[in-house]
Amino acid sequence: MEVIIVEQPGDVAVHAADAIEDLATSHPAPVLGLATGSTPRATYEETGRRIAAGRMTLARARAFMLDEYVGLPPHHPQSYRSVIDAIFTTKVDIDPANVAGPDGNASDVLAACAAYERAIAEAGGIDLQILGIGGDGHIAFNEPGSSLASATRIKTLIRATRQDNARFFEGVLDAVPSHCLTQGVATILRARHIVLLALGEPKAEAVRHAVEGPVSAMCPASALQLHPHVTVILDEGAASRLEMAAYYREVWENKPPWQRL
Ligand code: PGA
């Protein structure tokens, strides 16, 4: 894993947007993996600014979301599709028809999960996956205890996550869907490059487990250690519990110019 620790939280977005720009300018039709949540917002905004400045385009890109609630109408403001449209699709020049997510309204959700895995494979797989991490080490909706070999599937949301997300549903816990469809840990690991972003001290313990191990289903993000190309971009708070922080800084500061993210 390559670990980049930045002084200013805003620089997390700059480095993550660099990875997107590198891909977009070197690949004729890149495939992006999109995380929802608050962490990647600034990255998507920075990407939009670079597109507006003529540095890059996502006009020929495709994108796949990590997860979606079950049973929320697609236009519900809290469906992950609506959130992605608000924080990503409308900020960049991608064709909205080329942004896909698991179908949380399918009558046969198991078939929808299999279809989603197929759609990612048929697109050629994900070139660059933008990823956040939960305070408990989850990635997408793979909560602690998730199989590290899991594929896209239906999951019951744990109470703590529903309580966390109730703020987006006017504080009403019962309004938060009880189930979701989520890419599995193994689905995420099939992306060719994974960029994990974390901001703030509340993520520090999860980041320590994810980066410095041990690999365990109790911290699904620790499975990223098994992937050959992961870039972890952290602010000082999120990096504050890393034992090897000084070493990661030294590696990054001495990075040879030919080595890209
Ligand atoms: P956040 O969520 O970006 O809103 O912190 C990350 C996650 O829970 O995966």
211 touches 242 (CB < 8 A) = yes
Question: Looking at residues 17-36, what average pLDDT do you find?
Answer: 97
Maximum CA extent, the chain: 53
Q: pLDDT digit string (tens) for 189-218?
A: 999 999 999 999 999 999 999 999 999 999
CA distance 216 to 137: 10
Q: Alpha carbon of 5 to those of 17, 165, 209, 239, 256: distances in Å?
A: 15, 28, 16, 7, 17
Q: What is the spatial order of strands in the sheet that 99-100 belongs to?
A: 2-6, 230-235, 193-198, 128-131, 31-34, 62-65, 99-100
More confident residue, 255 or 30: 30
Catalytic residue among 15, 136, 193, 235: 136
* 143 is known as an active-site residue: yes
257 alpha carbon – ligand 1 mean position (Å): 32
Count of C-beta atoms within a 10 Å radius of residue 186: 17
138 alpha carbon – ligand 1 mean position (Å): 9
Q: pLDDT digit string (tens) for 73-82?
A: 878 999 999 9
Q: pLDDT digit string (tens) for 112-161?
A: 999 999 999 999 999 999 999 999 999 999 999 999 999 999 999 989 88
* 138 is known as an active-site residue: yes
C-beta of 37 in contact with ligand 1 (< 6 A): yes
| 32: nearest Cα among 195, 143, 252, 199 | 195
Residue 255 has pLDDT above 90, yes or no: no
